[in-house]
Amino acid sequence: MKCALITGGSRGIGSAICQKLAESKKYHILINYQYNQEAAEKTLEEVVKKGATGEIIQFNVSDSEEVKCVLTAWQEANPDAVVEVIVNNAGITRDGLFMWMTHEDWNNVINTSLNGFFNVTNFFIQRMLRNKYGRIVNMVSVSGVKGTAGQTNYSAAKGAVVAATKALAQEVAKRNITVNAVAPGFIRTDMTSQLDEKELIKMVPANRFGEAEEVAELVGFLASDKAGYITGEVININGGIYS
Amino acid sequence: MEADLILEKINEILVDEFEVDADIISPESNLKDTLGLDSLDYVDLVVAIESNFGVKLGEADFVGISTFSDFYKLIETKIQNKN
């Protein structure tokens, strides 16, 4: 059984990616979530509607012991399963000016995006290397590439994942494993629902927020066997806001 | 498991895993150069040893391992410690 794991797959961009990857019917879709079981179940329903199989796996990507424990149990229950695609999408924001930022908000954001990438990817990488095939897509952000005021923690976490993407890509390229990052700008999801869209689109040459499905199309391509010669890249998808 | 049986089994694994002729393996030859191992190949080696002997190898275990003979001794010690 070939599998694709999407962390933070229950909502927003993550959910759209689960549904996109389901369309290929090539993968058993592993939908990871932390809090919103209802949303995860809804995503699973959509995956099944598209003719793929899938399951929900709950764990907190930032908790290394929990990740190891849950994924070990899953792998033991599915010894023949091979995770060929990992989409590290789980992320949180705790915005605020740096001068007021608490240690907790700094750490929580770093732990989820950066350590989450390590915890999940490191668990599977040896098997992927043995399998001599893999696609790793790290969801970063325009903030991680250009930096965004009020998001020093988020920019730092995503910027670090960009660097890790480039380094890991070089380590594993020989084994037909690609590692890329996708950096969305303003995408209409729960995460951006509190933002003043009318005001912010003035900054976007395309004059609109992007849709999660548009990001999922790009991730779907990078996760496919057609994208085998693209690795170590950061691909911006932001309506022209920054490249 | 006796030392010569371990040696025989290890050679069998190496020949199979790295597609080399058995006669190029000799105790005093250099393990890495003879098998043409790159850093990623160690993953295959570690997994093959673990699945055949039930012992785990880490990065630190390979420090000071140069020849096949060193490698045989490492695995023998690991198996003894396990039992």
Nearest-Cα residue of chain B relative to residue A172: B40
Single out the residue of A144, A143, A185 nearest to residue A164, CA to CA. A144
Q: For residue range A184-219, what is the model confidence (pLDDT) as tens digits?
A: 999 998 777 778 888 888 999 999 999 999 999 999
Q: Quote helix, strand, coil % in chain A, to nearest 5.
A: 50, 20, 30
Neighbours of B11 (CB within 10 A): 15
Find chain B residues with C-beta within 8 A of A172's C-beta.
Answer: 40
Domains and their CATH numbers in chain A: 2-237 (3.40.50.720)
> Is any Cβ of chain B less than 8 angstroms from the Cβ of A172?
yes
Which CATH number does the domain housing residue B54 bear? Answer: 1.10.1200.10
What is the extent of the structural domain holding B13? 3-82
Percent of chain A with pLDDT over 90: 93
Q: How far is A126 from chain B (nearest CA, A)?
A: 7
pTM (predicted TM-score): 0.90
Note whether A172 contacts B40, CB cutoff 8 Å: yes
- Unique residue bearing structure tokens 């090539």: A26
Name every chain B residue with its beta carbon within 8 A of the beta carbon of A174: 38, 40
- Is A154 noted as a catalytic residue in this protein? yes
Taking residue B16's Cβ as centre, other Cβ atoms within 10 Å add up to: 11
* β-bridge partners, A27: none
Q: What is the pLDDT of residues A108-166, one digit of tens each?
A: 999 999 999 999 999 999 999 999 999 999 999 999 999 999 999 999 999 999 999 99
A130 reaches B (C-beta below 8 A)? yes
For residues A137 and A182, is the Cβ–Cβ distance under 8 A?
A: yes
Where residue B83 falls among pLDDT bands split at 50, 70, 90? confident
Confidence of residue A243 (pLDDT cuts 50, 70, 90): low
What sign does the dihedral A54-A58-A59-A60 (CA atoms) show?
Answer: positive
Number of domains in chain B: 1
The DSSP result for A135-202, as a single string, is EEEEE--HHHHH--TTBHHHHHHHHHHHHHHHHHHHHHGGGTEEEEEEEE-SB-SGGGTTS-HHHHGG
Residues of A in contact with B47 (CB under 8 A): 126, 130
The band of A93, judged by pLDDT with boundaries at 50, 70 and 90, is very high
User: What rounded mean pLDDT belongs to chain A?
Assistant: 95
ipTM over 0.90: no
Determine contact, residues A138/A61, Cβ cutoff 8 Å. Answer: no
Count A/B contacts: CB-CB distance under 8 Å.
Answer: 15
pLDDT category of residue A221 using cuts at 50, 70 and 90? very high
